[in-house]
Amino acid sequence: MALEVKLPELGDGIAAGDVLEVLVTEGTSVTKDQGLVEFETDKATVTVPSPGAGRIAKILVSKGQSVPVGSVIAILEPAGVAAAAAPAPAKPSPAPAAPAPVAAAPAPVAPPPVAAAPVAPVTPKPAPPPVAAPVAPAPAKPMTPPPAAPQVQVAAEAGVDSGAIAAGPAVRRFAREVGVDLSQVSGSGDGGRITREDILAVVRRASQTVRSSAPVGNPTSPAGTGSTGSAASASGNTQSDDYGPIRVEKMAKIRKTIANQMHKSWSTVPRVTNFDDADVTELEAFRQSSKDDYAARGIKLTTMPFLIKAVATALRHHPLLNATVDMENDQIIYKEYINVGIAVDTDRGLVVPTLKGADRMSIPDIAKALGDMSVRVRNGDFGVNDLRGGSFTISNLGAIGGTYSTPIVNIPEVAILLVGRSRKLPVVMDDDSIVARLMMPLSLSYDHRLVDGGAAARFLNDIIGYLEAPSRLLLAI
């Protein structure tokens, strides 16, 4: 019996998902848990797997379509059903095929009109007996083409979407976002597997081609036809305004979600930002002396695990910054858990996965979890639940560059800490000597409806205190 494959629950408050890519075609065989359709939600992509082995009888969604949760997206014929149906066309040898056509007796009478046989049996009912006869002498010929035809079609379509192309989900997603057709890319990885670098090479070549041909092609091609085949034209609608060529792209769902959240935060949260510096000279010396031990265990020790631990520990002593304000019900909701969201810059936009129970984790645990999280997020290998449940957010601008900023609060949280790039500055010490010290810039934005300046300053001072005395951080309770 055929199975209906439905779009499962995608997370709290998510009622629908947009089809990013259909990974299979009708008529193809699939294995259990093989990806069928890839959906995009607010900040994550979700692949719906096959509930079992079998054959895809029908695909009911298409790329770009918005599909409500619970809707049927495909019809699957289980392996048993498909196997029962498959032997019939496979076994038609000499004699067993004869019973299929009812008129087996007149077979010798009409061998010549074999060519007309395949067309007539479909429609006529009374007249077909003489015409149906030709099917008996050559059952293998009419029966063989139908299976072959879908296979040819699948192969043709597989050039872009199917598993025939050796590329991982993250690479496929990246190719879609930059507008590169994977069937036109030569893989340099193991066994011809396509890598991210292969796609970037295609984009670079396309950009060079567009630059060199733009002055000639654009005036004569109002819709951008002069740049056909480039990554730029593939990923958007190339047009021209009064001043020159432009490219129009549909806003991705994740970017739309970020835009809506930022607008909501900006228009509802009266935000104030405190700026300060932490002297991390001793912390850096401590990190440098320990990083080789971590590297031997496959863990990259950066400054972030120390910062996360400092923030999580400080939040235990300043619960107001780990709370949520509910203006509709005149309530303050204090979170008894400490889940720190880490803003990660990806090709798809800003994603904030959550490190749950950060206050109960050791520095090594945080360093390992942070490394795993970064890899999964950049590869797109994360679920909606990985992005939910945060109570405070840290944004690391220093990994890219920059010092201070005014981060926007990630509502419904009430505060966010942005860390800039550490740099050496002259510092006046207690004995009035001036010494070069490594200073980490910190920017704390908070919701002034709930958090006053004094509470924010005390919280930030605690964080600075932990960072400036690593031993105190390791012994903190």
Q: Which long-range contacts (CB under 8 A, 24 or more apart) does 85-91 make?
A: 89/143, 89/144, 89/146, 89/147
d(CA 33, CA 48): 8
- DSSP lists the bridge partners of residue 239 as 246
CB under 8 Å to 239, separation ≥6 — which residues?
222, 223, 224, 245, 246, 247, 248
Strand partners, 438: 424
Antiparallel, parallel or unpaired: β 54-59 and 29-30:
antiparallel
The CA distances from residue 169 to 25, 379, 417, 477, in Å, are 17, 8, 32, 42
Q: What angle do CA 299, 307, 422 make, to 5 degrees?
A: 95
Q: Of the listed 263, 317, 318, 448, which one is catalytic?
A: 448
Q: Is the previous residue joined to 215 through a cis bond, with omega within 30 degrees of 0? A: no
d(CA 182, CA 272): 47
Annotated catalytic, 448?
Answer: yes
Task: Give the catalytic positions in this structure.
Answer: 448
